[in-house]
């Protein structure tokens, strides 16, 4: 067997070589050959403040020197309480208790398990099924993968997945239910909502534990916001059938879409918000969930206050120090204002690019979470065959030119096109936005010349 010299890393793709990054400066990553990459997607929409902020690094080092690890089954730190309080105060009024994990997948696992335990201990013991959405990603562990709709990632593990149900999320630009948004508005009959109710009734409401959704769909569709009113209707259904509503803000949380949580924009109070990525601006693996008082009261009354769950690294002191420092920087640097200003500017620049390139069929998103849909021909509404990996190839060209985006594949059933997410650090400046648009423009031109 061919053995690559000195390479012990189990790469994500064993046939690929990846640039070795030596350091980062602001919105740029620099590799061992000195090549600079403008990080137009904040890594995996996580490095939300860019790289090399001494204040965050020093806070982490200080904590590591004091107490590197504290097992939260027996001890806690002051910093843990401070971070939970800061996050609790940013969340909707009745969501006050914060539970920490290391990653977003674990956060969603925790939320789905909490929903199940909450129901079981209240005597609704059959409730166990989670309803998710096909255009959604909630993580890669078996439970979170079962709830999400990433067909490519699910496929190999189908026999291992849990028996969860799925509906389509609203995507009015290319409605998976083949409806026109104006018709839905005029007769108030939204198939994307009635299908949820149909699914609940088919499964039996007594069996359905939770509904999970991203407030703005991220990696599975490319920054697609819901039509106004959608989540209010979902909330009503969850109330009617006693279903825990989990809003996955792993990608959208902590200012990415122009508000602390995108939940503020969808105008509902969820039962659980999960978060990750931006909470530590990518400086440490940190994530978690914020839980509604009602569920906490249920746990106190019916479960003797105990959540039957836990991870070794829950509330890890160094990660918590990173979180506290990152949230401090967001606040001090008035990052939310910048997201709105640069987000508007980027959105408009992308609309200009759409005029020039017929590959771009749609520009959408909120704040600095913006997506473009890529199609073979906008006028003919001709999608790329997903096997062509158009978004991946376009991103490859952009990387050669010195910028990295977050590509996503279309679906074989034509319910979504290829996409690219453009999500620079939340403190990006206008010059960097211009550079992102310039490189994307050039990449699309090169892409077109290669297609001929």
Interface residues with ligand PLP (CB under 6 A) are 44, 103-105, 108, 137-139, 214, 218-219, 248, 250-251, 276, 287
State both tokens at 351: 């609309």
The sheet that has 406-408: what strands, in order across it? 360-366, 369-374, 418-422, 406-408
Q: Which is nearer to ligand PLP, 276 or 371 (CB)?
A: 276
Instruction: Tell me how far, at minimum, the Cβ of 259 lies from ligand PLP, in Å.
Output: 16
- Annotate 250-286 with b (16+ C-beta within 10 A) or e (fewer): bbbbbbbbbbbbbbebbebbbbbbbbbbbbbbbbbbb
Q: Are 288 and 107 in contact (CB under 8 A)?
A: yes
Residue 277 or 376 with smaller CB distance to ligand PLP: 277
Closest CB to ligand PLP among 250 and 383? 250
Location of structure tokens 């158009």: 390
Distance CA 419, CA 360 (A): 9
Closest approach of ligand PLP to the CB of residue 75, in Å: 25
Alpha carbon of residue 255 to chain centroid: 12
Tokens representing residue 60 in the block: 């982490």
| Nearest approach, Cβ of residue 114 and ligand PLP (Å) | 16
Nearest distance in Å: CB 107, ligand PLP:
7
In the complex, what is the shortest distance from the CB of residue 106 to ligand PLP, in angstroms, rounded to a whole number? 7
How many CB atoms neighbour CB 128 within 10 A?
Answer: 18
Q: Which is nearer to ligand PLP, 143 or 444 (CB)?
A: 143
Nearer of residues 171 and 447 to ligand PLP, judged by Cβ: 171
Q: Is the dihedral of CA 160, 165, 169, 175 positive or negative?
A: positive
Cα separations in angstroms, 307 against 70, 183, 297 = 19, 45, 12
Shortest Cβ 45–ligand PLP spacing (Å) = 7
Site of tokens 């423009």? 441
Task: List C-alpha distances in Å: 74 to 70, 133, 229.
Answer: 8, 38, 44
Residue with nearest beta carbon to ligand PLP: 104
**Kind and range of the H or E element at 131?**
strand 129-133
Cβ nearer to ligand PLP, comparing 137 with 171: 137
CB of 298 within 8 A of CB of 123? no
Q: Which residue has the tokens 């771009």?
A: 360
Closest CA to 422 of 354, 381, 367: 367
In the complex, minimum distance from the CB of residue 122 to ligand PLP, in angstroms, rounded to a whole number: 27
We find the least distance from the C-beta atom of residue 313 to ligand PLP, in angstroms, to be 13
Beta carbon nearer to ligand PLP, 105 or 169: 105
Complex with ligand PLP: residue 279 or 437, whichever CB lies closer: 279
Of residues 108 and 257, the one with the C-beta less far from ligand PLP: 108
Instruction: Compute the least distance from the CB of residue 314 to ligand PLP, in Å.
Output: 14
């Amino acid at each position: 067997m061919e053995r690559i010299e000195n390479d012990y890393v189990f790469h994500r793709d064993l046939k690929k070589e990846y640039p070795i990054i030596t350091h980062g400066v602001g919105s740029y990553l620099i590799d061992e050959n000195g090549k600079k990459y403008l990080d137009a997607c904040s890594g995996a929409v996580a490095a939300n403040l860019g790289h090399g902020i001494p204040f965050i690094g020093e806070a982490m080092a200080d904590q590591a020197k004091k107490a590197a690890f504290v097992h939260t089954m027996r001890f806690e730190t002051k910093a843990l309480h401070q971070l939970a309080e800061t996050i609790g105060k940013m969340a909707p009024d009745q969501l006050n208790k914060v539970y920490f994990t290391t990653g977003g997948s674990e956060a969603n696992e925790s939320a789905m398990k909490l929903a199940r335990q909450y129901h079981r201990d209240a005597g609704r013991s059959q409730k166990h099924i989670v309803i998710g959405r096909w255009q959604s990603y909630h993580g890669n562990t078996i439970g979170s993968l079962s709830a999400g709709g990433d067909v490519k990632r699910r496929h190999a593990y189908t026999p291992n997945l849990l028996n969860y149900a799925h509906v389509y999320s609203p995507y009015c630009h290319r409605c998976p239910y083949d409806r026109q948004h104006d018709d839905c508005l005029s007769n108030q009959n939204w198939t994307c909502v009635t299908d949820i109710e149909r699914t609940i009734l088919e499964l039996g409401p007594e069996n359905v534990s939770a509904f999970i959704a991203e407030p703005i769909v991220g990696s599975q569709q490319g920054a697609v916001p819901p039509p106004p009113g959608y989540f209010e209707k979902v909330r009503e259904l969850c109330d009617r059938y006693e279903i825990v509503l989990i809003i996955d803000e792993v990608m959208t949380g902590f200012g990415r879409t122009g508000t602390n949580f995108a939940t503020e924009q969808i105008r509902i109070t969820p039962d659980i918000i999960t978060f990750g990525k931006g909470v530590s601006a990518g400086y440490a693996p940190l994530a978690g969930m914020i839980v509604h008082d009602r569920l906490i009261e249920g746990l106190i009354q019916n479960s003797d206050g105990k959540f039957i769950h836990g991870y070794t690294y829950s509330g890890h002191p160094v990660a918590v120090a990173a979180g506290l420092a990152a949230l401090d920087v967001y606040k001090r640097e008035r990052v939310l204002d910048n997201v709105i200003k640069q987000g508007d500017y980027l959105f408009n620049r992308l609309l200009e690019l759409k005029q020039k390139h017929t590959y771009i069929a749609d520009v959408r998103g909120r704040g600095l979470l913006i997506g473009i849909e890529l199609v073979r021909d906008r006028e003919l509404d001709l999608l790329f065959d997903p096997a062509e990996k158009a978004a991946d190839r376009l991103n490859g060209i952009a990387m050669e030119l010195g910028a990295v985006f977050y590509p996503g594949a279309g679906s074989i059933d034509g319910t979504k096109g290829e996409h690219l997410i453009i999500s620079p650090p939340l403190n990006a400046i206008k010059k960097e936005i211009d550079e992102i648009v310039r490189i994307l423009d050039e990449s699309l031109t090169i892409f077109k010349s290669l297609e001929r």
